[in-house]
Amino acid sequence: MSLDPDARVWVATGFSGSNCEKCLHTDPDCRNLTEARDVVAKRRRMYPADQRVCEICSGAYTPSRDTGRSEAYELLDAADPDEVSVE
């Protein structure tokens, strides 16, 4: 994924056990940022051109079928909370 050098990205610091500590995030609400101690906004130009962009933010993430989670769980997990109703 190629980003404009002036694009804003979010970078997490102080992860505990995540593999996305050095990822650039294009969505400040990315679920991979939830475990960070701190999230800072920077310009894309502050990082090398080959710096990895989060797969969730870029849309490249595909859930593994062997996670033990059901398809319904994956759909609910990816859904906008405002679009999910419980009756």
For residue 16, the enclosing domain spans: 8-83
Residue 84 — very low, low, confident or very high, per pLDDT cuts 50/70/90?
confident
72: pLDDT strictly greater than 80: no
pLDDT of residue 27: 92
Residue 28 lies in a domain: yes
Residue 60 lies in a domain: yes
Residue 3 lies in a domain: no
**78 burial class (0-12, 13-18, 19+ CB within 10 angstroms)?**
exposed
**12 burial class (0-12, 13-18, 19+ CB within 10 angstroms)?**
buried
Q: Is the CB of residue 9 less than 8 Å from the CB of residue 26?
A: yes
Residue 43 lies in a domain: yes
pTM of this prediction? 0.63
Residue 1 lies in a domain: no
Residue with tokens 């990822």: 23
pLDDT of residue 50: 87
> E-assigned strands of 6-78?
8-13, 38-43
Integer Cα distance of 69 and 82 in angstroms? 22
Per the structure, the count of domains in the chain is 1
The per-residue pLDDT for range 15-34, each reduced to its tens digit, is 655 566 678 999 999 888 88
